[in-house]
Amino acid sequence: MTVPPRVLVGRRWLVLAILCASLLLVSVDATVLHMALPALSEDLRPTATSQLWIIAVYSLVAAPLLLAFGTLGDRYGRRRILVLGYVVFGLASLACAWAPNVAVLIAARAVLGVGGAMIMPATLSLLRQAFPDRAERQTAIGIWSGVAGSGAVLGPLLGGFLVETFSWHAAFLINVPVMVLAIPLTYWLIPESADPPDGPWDVFSAVLAGLGVIGLAFAVKQTPHGGAMYVLGPVAGLLGGLLLLAFVRRQRKLPVPLLDVTLFRDRAFSVAVGSVLLVMTSLVGLGLLFAQYLQLVLALQPMPAALRLMFVMASAVIGSVVAGPLLQRFGNRRLTVAGFAVSAVALSAAAAGLTVTENLWLLGPVLAVTGFGVSISLTAASDALLAAAPAEQAGAAAAVEETAYELGAGLGVTVLGSVATLIYTASLPGAAAQARDGLTEATAAAAELPPEAGSQLLELARAAFVTGLRAAMVVGAVLFVLATVAAARALPTTKESHNDDRA
């Protein structure tokens, strides 16, 4: 290492602060457009498919690059990659803010994902080094998980405030001053750290992993939309799977692999990663749909709509604070299972009671329970994942978990967005053909019709959207149930974890 771990330990709480600030920035940008999308759509007029790409491309680009940048940080310096990520992130934010059309915006959001992939890996791997004591590390992971979950919820709130106060451009411009402040703070608070292995960095492995994840993500994104390019979805999915298989086989043969795939032989590690993927798929996908429901069905302005999501943020913060002590009392398995289970019940109750009119008595408690359950579950899963990996593989373990976070966020938009879109379209009667491209298009079409006809069109479209949202919520609840079952079968209790001596 270029810097002994004790340097990080001596500054551990300051290090945690800068790592969480970096994580918050990346998490916020995954969802900041949820409330800004209607205003953005009025200016750039994207299609329903383009809207999903504008949201999803950030996470779908970041996910396959996390492993590459995580290992580059291990080899050449984690702080160096982190600061470079700040630069890329800031420049891409400027490009997004002044994008003249949809194509430029999607491309700039993709570059933003590259910057996010540079920033994220250091957060969890440096946390592992800064907190060798298991009890302190559980508290730190609780804060880290709370920031990750709160960032996803803060994104729509911040986006709603910026759109209502300024314009959708401000949702990107706000990143620039944060980058300017983050660079000197990072140099001041975090020493350079690296763990270069003896062998070379395998570029071919990084390419295989990146293209494999992109292929699978494109398949999930493209296949449900059909059309002339339908065949490309299954083909991309097959190629992506084959590339990932080739990646795994190559790692087993290399003397210095990019990723030690034997980590996945540990059931606790594999289930923790899978749990994160499933939960983020549900959480982020439903977050986007719910933001559209608040604005387009309930006709709330961006800021009032975003304030409804404060229930999730507040309860997630509470969950992150109490998760550490709860982990020490009940252990990984019980806490993870309990959190996922109550989240599944809450989503099921919400799906049953959802209507085209607001039921705040249902909405508030459901969002609060879901936020709390997800927060404590992700904390417990993260602790189990880090505990399952030896200290020298902390960077690889962190990259795998953050890949699950980002890929889950991207898949959430694509999978649950596609489910909602398919059910929405199937629920529309033939008389509402103008609304088939989405609720935003239905609103625009209704404005051009006579008042009575426009009102009828909107009524049909809103009812169909609620039907699609219910279906997506059921799918999200099923994902929580799957995570619950897997955690109950494989995660250890804290006392069973055998890696305390590895810290």
> Over the stretch 329-370, which tens digit does the pLDDT of each residue have?
888 788 888 889 998 998 888 888 888 887 767 777 887 888
For every residue of 163-179, DSSP letters joined together read HHHS-TTHHHHTHHHHH
CA angle 369, 332, 145 (to 5 degrees): 55
> Over the stretch 254-293, which tens digit does the pLDDT of each residue have?
888 877 788 888 888 888 888 888 888 887 778 778 878 8
Task: List the chain residues with pLDDT less than 70.
Answer: 1-10, 149-150, 152-153, 197-198, 217, 220-231, 360, 390-396, 410, 431-433, 493-503
Q: Give 337's contacts (C-beta < 8 A, 6+ positions apart).
A: 484, 487, 488, 491
Rounded Cα gap, residues 213 and 236, in angstroms: 10
Reduced DSSP (H G I as helix, E B as strand, rest coil) percent helix, strand, coil of the chain, to 5: 85, 0, 15
Predicted pLDDT of residue 152 = 66
